[in-house]
Structure formats: structure tokens, C-alpha cells
Amino acid sequence: MNEATSPALPLRERRDRIVERLCRHFANDDLTLEEFERRLDLAHRARDAAELDALLDGLPASPGPAATPAPARPAADARPARATAIAIMGGTARRGRWTPAAHTLAFAGWGGIDLDFREAQLPPGVTEVTAIAIMGGIDIFVPPGVVVESEGIAILGGFDHAQGAATAASPDAPILRIRGLAFLGGVSIHVRDPHEPVSGK
């Protein structure tokens, strides 16, 4: 038995932790999108702890949290492999000079997340973000010159990529690959210069 399935947890908190673990499994490619959506729907319909715990059947142990990134610019193979940004009924942000992991899972459940990559230390190659917003919002800010590849599904919500002015990317330009799911919420990708304010988005 682990913390997520402890019988002492209230049902709402238990549900939040099960949903968080399902998001981690989806980001880790343990679940297809269809299976993830199915289990997510069942999680919100579950009426007791047994129904919630059953949603983890057949899944491996969730990956642990990634180590805190170092402030120095990393080589592509030296940075943390995975990191998370979780906001449940609250908010969190990554901004300024920070080192993104190779793969970041951002999950906003009834909360909000800002991921600001404009001053982030991005090495050449691909940096991946899995953005999942459930009755919440995730805003991702990228500077011109970073190649952005995005793919998302919106169910009664929005997945928006506001393209900036076309610029010629260098062969070794960083690539930010964003995929996500918005369910009764929104994921928005904004192209902004580092000096531009983010208010109004």
C-alpha cells in the first residue's frame, strides 16, 4: 500500500492523487490516449475508494519525481530526464532562468500553471512537455527562434497555439515538443519576446 491508496485519505484527495498518477503514467507512455481518457472519466465517476484504486490495475509503479535541475546550461544528455509541475486547486509557475528536464509533465486540476521558457536554459535537441488541464489552465510561453511542435486534444475546452512571426531557425535551434489534453479547461502556447509582459496572454 502506498500514500496514494492509503485508506486514511478522504475520497476527494484520494481521487486527486489517483488522477495525478494516471497523468504520470500517460506521460510515461504506460497508457494510450484512449485508455487514459477512459480511466480519467471513471475516476471522476468513482463513488468509493475501491473503484479509484482499481484504476491503477495493470500499471507499473509510477516514476518518482525528477531531481531539481541545476542552474547551469546543461548538455542535452546531462539534464534531468523528467520533472513535474502539478497544480491542484492552486497555481504554480516556472519562469526566469531555469533548466527544463528532457520531459516535463504539467498537470493542472482546478488550478493554473505558467511555464515560461523565454529565459530557460534549453539545449539543442528536443525538450518535451505533456500538458494536461482538467477544469484548469496551462499557459506556455516560448521565445521567437525556438521551434515549437504542438499536438493536443480539447474536450469541451481549448488547445491553442498562437504562432509568432515566422523566423528562420538555425539547424541547432532547440525544439519544444508539446502534446496535451484539455478537458473542460485550456492549454495555450504563446510566442513572446523575453521583455514582453505576460499579462493579458
pLDDT of residue 68: 39
Annotate 35-76 with DSSP letters as a single string. HHHHHHHHHHH--SHHHHHGGGTT-PPPPPPPPPPPSSPPPT
User: Is pLDDT at 199 greater than 70 in this prediction?
Assistant: no
User: Is pLDDT at 33 greater than 90 in this prediction?
Assistant: no
Locate the domains of the chain by residue range.
Answer: 3-56, 82-191
What confidence tens digit (pLDDT) does each residue in 129-182 have? 999 998 999 999 999 888 999 998 888 889 988 765 445 556 678 899 999 889
pLDDT of residue 124: 85
The pTM assigned to this predicted structure is 0.67
What confidence tens digit (pLDDT) does each residue in 50-69 have? 898 898 988 887 544 443 34
C-alpha cell at 77: 544528455
pLDDT of residue 40: 80
Query: What is the residue-averaged pLDDT of the chain?
Result: 80
